[in-house]
């Protein structure tokens, strides 16, 4: 009799353990399903953008849709408001009269400027503006020789004598002075000694390689003894 009671107790314990294990397995399986669903949702959210042209986006057929569109920044179309950047793009290979307004609320690279190629991903709002969540810019590297360029020191020595006259000058971008287009002086150029320098105004696109400490060659003219209006910026080749 005692043996039967022990056997029944063992059977009851095994049933209880099996039930607990099933519950745990069910809970773990449910957690895995939730994690997989979240991952799939994230992946889908980042890859579901439809690639369209500037003209297609501007025509209003994609309002409320997530799209990816590539175009060139319209000259001087950009404005800044707090941390927000607004600009327009056009399709160089399509109808250049069709433009799309873009608003981007994240940080802007110092290379951003006129005619830079911008790939924008986001959602078209009710006003037909692309609310951009991801901005990728591209400007090819440009190199130029400095054999006929003045140094920063030579420019300073000439002073008012060459204000307004087209010249070429070479120097180094001073660390911590670079800004995106439309935010005032673009950067400060200095000579190797650091004794002479002047600010540079330039609204065009820059290569990502044009950064602090880069040796550059500028074309343009002095507007005053301390400010240079650049028409072209290239890496020193």
> The dihedral of CA 27, 30, 31, 32: what is its sign?
positive
Residue pair 190/219 in contact by the 8 Å Cβ criterion? no
Q: What is the largest CA-CA distance in the chain?
A: 120
pLDDT at 48: 79
Low-confidence ranges of the chain (pLDDT < 50): 1-2, 6, 8, 17, 25-26, 28-46
pLDDT at 39: 38
Half-sphere exposure of 62 (CA within 13 A, CB side): 24
Q: Are strands 215-224 and 167-173 parallel, antiparallel or unpaired?
A: antiparallel
pLDDT at 164: 93
Half-sphere exposure of 89 (CA within 13 A, CB side): 29
∠ CA(51), CA(57), CA(62), 5° rounding?
85
pLDDT at 10: 54
pLDDT at 38: 39
Nearest to 137 by CA among 212, 78, 188: 78
Q: How far out from the chain centre does Cα 34 lie?
A: 33
In Å, what is the CA distance from 200 to each residue of 36, 183, 211, 217, 232?
52, 12, 13, 12, 11
pLDDT at 45: 47
In Å, what is the CA distance from 231 to each residue of 7, 21, 30, 51, 67?
95, 74, 62, 34, 34
């Amino acid at each position: 009799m005692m043996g039967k009671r022990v056997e029944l107790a063992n059977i009851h314990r095994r049933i209880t353990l099996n039930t607990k294990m099933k519950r745990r397995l069910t809970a773990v399986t449910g957690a895995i399903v939730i994690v997989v669903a979240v991952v799939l949702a994230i992946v889908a959210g980042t890859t579901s953008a439809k690639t369209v042209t500037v003209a297609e986006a501007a025509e209003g057929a994609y309002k409320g849709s997530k799209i990816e569109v590539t175009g060139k920044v319209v000259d001087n179309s950009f404005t800044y408001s707090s941390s927000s950047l607004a600009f327009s793009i056009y399709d160089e290979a399509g109808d250049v009269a069709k433009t799309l307004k873009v608003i981007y609320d994240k940080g802007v690279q110092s290379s951003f400027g006129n005619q830079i190629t911008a790939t924008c991903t986001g959602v078209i709002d009710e006003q037909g503006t692309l609310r951009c969540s991801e901005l990728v810019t591209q400007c090819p590297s440009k190199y130029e020789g400095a054999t006929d360029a003045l140094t920063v020191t030579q420019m300073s020595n000439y002073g008012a004598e060459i204000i307004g006259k087209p010249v070429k000058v070479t120097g180094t971008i001073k660390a911590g002075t670079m800004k995106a287009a439309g935010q005032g002086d673009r950067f400060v150029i200095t000579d190797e000694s650091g004794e002479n320098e002047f600010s540079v105004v330039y609204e065009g696109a820059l290569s990502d390689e044009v950064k602090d400490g880069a040796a550059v060659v500028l074309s343009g003219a002095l507007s005053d003894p301390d400010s240079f209006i650049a028409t072209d910026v290239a890496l020193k080749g």
